[in-house]
């Protein structure tokens, strides 16, 4: 039976963690982290979980401890945000290259400076090449659902990669909304037992973790990571199918909204997608053929599928909530453009950098983007393909 609740995004993820009942959670327990470790540590203190909670002295140590625990054979998760993730950077790569299925709850917030605590995607987008699977969430429900699915994806024998489940700082992490929770037993059965093939505490076979790889071996290790990431795509879809059977809620690599016959479309990630759907409905009511593609899975990047979904559009705006500072466009746009490159007939593409450091995104702001797309489609060309939305001149 589904449980009708109202929770903040932080509470929702903490409850998913409680239902998963992991073996180990190392986490830095204060700012820049979120309330997630705080809620979870209360579950530990109250005996609701059997987890070993390790309150470490930094995020670098949090990820180091997660690596050690996961390599030992423990189901391990952690949580962080913003510059907390930045302090994990070195270890993110170590977790991925050692093929450790750690789950990380990331609350997307800006990196300093100027000093700012609010939502944008500069933390996770900066880590996009670290070898972690990245899944994004529009609202509290999706943050919860994605976290419930995380270990099934990460621990799959064809994958064995760490996974981060992302949601927007404050906008969903600290906002109370309606949510439908699964029963504890349902989650427990869905996630199942962790049964790693190789692990350090296995007394029957000895193994080394974190070994030095000379040039004779390094590239093979990287190629194996690359293959695992390719495999993740199908596993994510298979897990989503099972999750739908359990919850009734459908997930894919991305979600399309009124895209099938759309002439103008935007590509967007996380909470602003909900705001953009309201804009789509407003414009559809005026007879405009507009639609939306919300990316759920950014790593692995569903390039062919996105190209197929967008190929009929005349003009597409790719929305980036972080900038690459390459003087050319944001990271999401770079991926989408390169996905479209192989098409014979391509939509015109414009990139918008938006919502940095928590700059609010209103329905009207998204409507402005669609108005610009209409002009681009009519003109048949893009004058300036790298723009900032809602910014003072």
Partner 1 sequence: MAKTLEIRWHGRGGQGAKTASLLLADVAFNTGKYVQGFPEYGPERMGAPITAYNRISDDPIRVHSNIYDPEFVVVVDETLLTAVDVTKGLKEDGAIIINSEKSGEELRPLLNGYKGKVYTIDARKISVAALGKYFPNMPMLASIVKVANVMDEADFLEEMQGSFKHKFASKPEVIEGNMQALRMSLQEVK
Q: At closest approach, how far in Å is the CB of 185 from partner 1?
A: 24
Strands (E), 200-321: 254-257, 264-268, 290-295, 297-299, 315-320
Among 124, 271, 324, 351, binds partner 1 (CB under 8 A): 271
Q: Pick between residue 150 and residue 280 the one whose CB is nearest to partner 1.
A: 280
Q: At closest approach, how far in Å is the CB of 32 from partner 1?
A: 13
Q: At closest approach, how far in Å is the CB of 326 from partner 1?
A: 28
Among 278, 308, 375, 383, binds partner 1 (CB under 8 A): 278
- Please give the residues from 124 up to 183 whose contact with partner 1 meets the rule CB under 8 A: 139, 168, 170-172, 174-178
State the DSSP H helix or E strand holding residue 40, giving kind and residue range, or none if neither.
Answer: helix 35-45
Examine residue 118 and say whether the peptide bond preceding it is cis (omega within 30 degrees of 0). Answer: no
Supply 133's token pair: 């699977």
Collapsing DSSP to helix, strand or coil, 250 comes out as coil
Q: At closest approach, how far in Å is the CB of 281 from partner 1?
A: 6
Using rule CB under 8 A, residue 117 touches partner 1:
yes
Among 48, 274, 312, 368, binds partner 1 (CB under 8 A): 274
Cα distance between residue 135 and residue 294, in whole Å: 11
Q: How is the beta sheet containing 315-320 ordered, strand by strand?
A: 254-257, 290-295, 264-268, 315-320, 348-353, 386-388
Among 6, 157, 222, 223, binds partner 1 (CB under 8 A): 6
Q: At closest approach, how far in Å is the CB of 168 from partner 1?
A: 8
Using rule CB under 8 A, residue 38 touches partner 1:
no
Supply 251's token pair: 């997930």
Segment contacting partner 1 by CB under 8 A, of 212-220, 276-284, 308-316, 380-388: 276-284
Supply 116's token pair: 């700012």
Are residues 267 and 295 in contact, defined by beta-carbon separation less than 8 angstroms?
yes
Q: How many CB atoms lie within 10 A of CB 335?
A: 20
List of residues contacting partner 1 (CB under 8 A): 6, 117-118, 139, 168, 170-172, 174-178, 271-272, 274-275, 277-278, 281-282, 358, 360-363
């Amino acid at each position: 039976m589904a449980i009708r609740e109202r929770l903040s995004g932080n509470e929702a993820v903490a409850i998913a963690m409680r239902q998963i009942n992991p073996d180990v959670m190392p986490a830095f327990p204060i700012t820049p982290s979120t309330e997630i470790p705080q809620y979870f540590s209360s579950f530990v203190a109250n005996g609701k979980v059997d987890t070993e909670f390790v309150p470490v002295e930094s995020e670098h140590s949090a990820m180091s401890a997660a690596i050690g625990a996961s390599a030992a054979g423990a189901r391990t998760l952690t949580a962080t945000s913003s510059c907390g993730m930045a302090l994990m950077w070195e270890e993110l790569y170590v977790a991925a290259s050692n093929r450790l299925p750690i789950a990380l709850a990331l609350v997307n917030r800006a990196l300093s400076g100027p000093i700012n605590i609010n939502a944008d995607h500069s933390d996770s987008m900066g880590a996009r090449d670290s070898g972690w699977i990245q899944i994004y969430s529009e609202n509290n429900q999706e943050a919860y659902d994605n976290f419930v699915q995380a270990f099934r994806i990460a621990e799959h024998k064809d994958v064995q990669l760490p996974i981060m489940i992302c949601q927007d700082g404050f906008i969903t992490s600290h906002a109370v909304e309606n949510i439908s929770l699964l029963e504890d037993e349902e989650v427990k059965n869905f996630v199942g037992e962790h049964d790693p093939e190789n692990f350090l505490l296995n007394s029957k076979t000895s193994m080394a973790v974190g070994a030095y790889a000379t040039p004779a071996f390094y590239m093979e290790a990287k190629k194996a990571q690359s293959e695992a990431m390719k495999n993740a795509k199908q596993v994510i879809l298979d897990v989503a199918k099972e999750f739908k059977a359990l919850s009734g809620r459908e997930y894919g690599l991305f979600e399309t909204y009124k895209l099938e016959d759309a002439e103008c479309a935007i590509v967007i990630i996380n909470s602003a997608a909900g705001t953009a759907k309201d804009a789509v409905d407003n414009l559809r009511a005026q007879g405009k053929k507009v639609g939306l593609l919300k990316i759920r899975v950014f790593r692995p990047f569903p390039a062919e599928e996105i190209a197929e979904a967008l190929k009929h559009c005349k003009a597409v705006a790719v929305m980036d909530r972080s900038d690459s500072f390459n003087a050319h466009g944001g990271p999401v746009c770079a991926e989408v453009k390169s996905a479209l490159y192989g098409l014979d007939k391509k939509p015109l593409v414009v990139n918008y950098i938006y919502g940095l450091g928590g700059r609010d995104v209103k329905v009207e702001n998204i409507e402005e983007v669609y108005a610009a797309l209409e002009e681009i489609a009519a003109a048949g060309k893009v004058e300036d393909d790298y723009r900032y939305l809602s910014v003072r001149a």
